[in-house]
Structure 1
Amino acid sequence: MNLIDIPQFIKTYITKRPQSLFEIDIEQHKDTLSKKIEGKSVLVIGGAGTIGSSYIKAILKFKPGKLFVVDTNENGLTELTRQLRSDANMFVPEDYRTYPMNFGDPVFRKMFLAEGPFHIVANFAAHKHVRSEKDKYSIEAMIDNNVFKAKEFLDLLMTKKPEHFFCVSTDKAANPVNVMGASKKLMEEVIMAYSKDLQITTARFANVAFSNGSLLAGYIERLFQNQPISCPSDVQRFFVSPEESGQICMLACMLGNSGEIFFPKLAAEQMAFFKDITIDFFKASNRPIIECQSEDEAKQKALTTKKGDPYPVYFFDTDTSGEKLYEEFYTETDVVDQETYDSLGVIKNARKLSQDQISATITELKSLMDSGTYDKTAIVDLLKQHLPDFEHIETGKSLDQKM
């Protein structure tokens, strides 16, 4: 398999943008960004992931004075540090520290209270995969991380308020059809409840091409292990590059008014089918493919595939729970500003419940999960009561049942 230039492949075949979507807005607001970031202290939670690390790289261009990065992925933090330290063009502040810890743990609280307050705080720690939705245990873990811990962290932030707080969301929070999207929609409502007391913004954005754990990033691992490729033929998505994912979060964090939800201004025709990307991926690699009719056929062909042979690929129609065939960033009831920024839209009328209402919702969810008699359906039904636009798609099949 010929290794290809992934960043160039993303520009050419996926986003089809030679430069960043957000380049104009960054240039137009560079003085404001510099004023708000230069010399400031920054805390990034979940900073070892694709989006969190891209946010760090975006914000370092404006020379903050202190950077603390927290992530449960110790290896990811090590690689992040190697990337930053090995880049001759990268500014790294003298006070740079990484902590392999969970932002919900007591040791994190000790660190935050002793080292804070931080001027800029960004949280990227989240369950982000639809495949994480399997049963009541996986769903409880997802809601605990995306919702319960988010609220506990906001309560902690109230003791030492930052100038800017950003918490990442997802395009799947718009008219959610899966529990992951519903949990992020509820997360949005949690942070909105604090938006009068803290400077808070969030962003929904497209799939990040070749991000950690993504379908496309998995292609590289499958090829190294000489395993077949499996891809949905009927699913299309909006895409941004890893660099763009960090930039939109930086812009939303630093420029937004409290309570606003940002999203990239992408037209429907800019969505791409995974099948088309897969075909282009192999073309760019100068290797033909052979389309298989089943997973078993693809796995059997992979056993005998030699260098230069057509590579086995299985395209399938989507039949798993919680999958839309397309994505959207906002709903018909949202008031959207498409004029202020060149590349960003802003939802202006996000629902803002009281903190008491949010606490009551969380108490109800925790009571159900602590009851010992709940199942996946019960959690979904309770989420529907609190999220009127949540229409769960249940097929009885999980992505973990596929290659």
Structure 2
Amino acid sequence: MNHLSIVGRDLELFSRDILNSDQFLRETIGGSRVLVIGGAGSIGRSVVHEVFSRNPKALHVVDLSENNLVEVVRSLRSEIGYIAGDFRTFALDCSSPEFSAFVRHHGTYDYVFNLSALKHVRSERDPFTLMRMINVNIFSTINALRLVKSRSLKNYFCVSTDKAANPVNMMGASKRIMELFLMQESLKSNVTTARFANVAFSDGSLLHGFVQRFTNQQPIAAPVDISRYFVTPKESGQLCLMAGLMGENRNIFFPKMSIDLHLHTLSSVATRFINDLGFEVYECNSEQEARNRSSELIAAGKWPCYFFKSDTTGEKAAEEFFMGHEKLDFDRFSDIGIISNQPEFDADKLEAFENGIKRIYKEGIWKKSQIVDIFKELLEEFDYQDLEKNLDQKM
């Protein structure tokens, strides 16, 4: 399967910048102790691969998933082999007492990459998963920075999202709030982040779902009116690596929009995916028709698809990487843009946000509307519309 052709491209996005920076990246990593948090997820695995392949002095990888960590090790051993440096994985929650003890035991790191996140819009469907998303995306990210901060820490990188630019969903808003907290922390530590497109075929993504549906001979569904930018898993790791090692304090890296990166409707990506596998798309009029006719159509070389107009909460028609007031640098790299904002934040509002979340958390039960109100007090431009229908209610 050709991942590039399915997302409408012939060339990798960042190859020129990676090539031009290769010596610096190798020399920097070769002399550094690196910690990757959330290193067994789709983006995390790519970051680990990029770091490991450049022979770090030490590479420690932390993730909640014991099984996925095993696969990280097997993949590296099978493709690259071994390095002279200290490479180890740890099945830990970065917000746990065990992680705090781990950091104390293993000492200081030069570079920390935090890729842990709840990334799906569907995570805001209920107030309980939403609260966990807030804790993971905002408070655990900031607490981990405070924990690993030392005189030897050169940079702390954590991943953001294009959905943080003018957010319309709670997931994007949580990452925007994370960025504001990082602005506050940037007065004491060097921090960088990246906003990038959907990572094609990442775990749980719609394109990953296409692969699962194809494997299980099930129909494919996608909206016709939602457009997205896409990067490959390899490109996501490269963008994080560049931002983490070459970014200046408060920089937000993002892919430049070009002929090689433009918006694609999700239904058009589904069509290319099916065609790439040798099938013809057959558009069904309903989910039920797609389910009922699956065996018949697949046997005839046609794949049942249901393409529809989006009607669920939090879906933005087209994503964007930056906001109008942000300072942009398009000159430093060939294919990477940089947002270089001043540390603009309202400390009183950030404190009120944190106290508001803690207050309702202590109550032991809360409503989604309470959380939305607290978000809107901090993000005055946040225009959240709850349509009372989420992605779990669709095929």
Q: TM range, normalised to the smaller chain?
A: over 0.9
Question: Which residue pairs with 1:375 in the alignment?
Answer: 367
Check if 1:345 corresponds to 2:337.
yes
CA change 1:258–1:354 in 2 (3 A) is farther
| Paired letter, 1:102 | D
Contact 1:196/1:258 (8 A) holds in 2: no
Contact 2:14/2:239 (8 A) holds in 1: yes
Check if 1:329 corresponds to 2:321.
yes
Query: Can you list the C-alpha shifts for 1:245-284, whole angstroms capped at 9, x where unaligned?
Result: 0000000111111111111101497111111111111111
Contact 1:15/1:241 (8 A) holds in 2: no
- Once the two structures are TM-superposed, the CA of residue 243 in structure 1 deviates from its matched residue by 0.7
| Paired letter, 1:151 | I
Question: Which residue pairs with 1:49 in the alignment?
Answer: 41
Question: Which residue pairs with 1:12 in the alignment?
Answer: 5
- Structure 1 unaligned segments of length 5 or more: list them: none
Matches for 1:130-279 after TM superposition, within 5 Å: 130-159=121-150, 162-267=153-258, 270-279=262-271
Distance in 2 of aligned mates of 1:210 and 1:259? 29
Query: Can you list the C-alpha shifts for 1:334-357, whole angstroms capped at 9, x where unaligned?
Result: 111111111111111155337675
- Once the two structures are TM-superposed, the CA of residue 13 in structure 1 deviates from its matched residue by 3.4
RMSD after superposition: 1.9
Contact 2:109/2:148 (8 A) holds in 1: no
Matches for 1:110-129 after TM superposition, within 5 Å: 110-129=101-120
CA change 1:66–1:24 in 2 (3 A) is same
Counting matched residue pairs gives 394
CA change 1:115–1:196 in 2 (3 A) is same
Query: Secondary structure of 1:125's partner?
Result: coil
Query: Secondary structure of 1:290's partner?
Result: strand
- Structure 2 unaligned segments of length 5 or more: list them: none
Query: Secondary structure of 1:79's partner?
Result: helix
Query: Secondary structure of 1:98's partner?
Result: strand
Distance in 2 of aligned mates of 1:137 and 1:371? 13
Query: Can you list the C-alpha shifts for 1:129-171, whole angstroms capped at 9, x where unaligned?
Result: 1111112112111101111211221221235652121000000
Sequence identity percentage: 39
Scaled by the length of structure 2, what TM-score is found? 0.95
Moved over 6 A (4+): none
- Once the two structures are TM-superposed, the CA of residue 79 in structure 1 deviates from its matched residue by 0.9
Distance in 2 of aligned mates of 1:167 and 1:90? 27
Query: Secondary structure of 2:293's partner?
Result: helix
Contact 1:41/1:64 (8 A) holds in 2: yes
Contact 1:136/1:375 (8 A) holds in 2: yes
Distance in 2 of aligned mates of 1:279 and 1:180? 28
Contact 1:123/1:166 (8 A) holds in 2: yes
CA change 1:114–1:360 in 2 (3 A) is farther
Scaled by the length of structure 1, what TM-score is found? 0.93
| Paired letter, 1:170 | T
Query: Secondary structure of 2:310's partner?
Result: coil
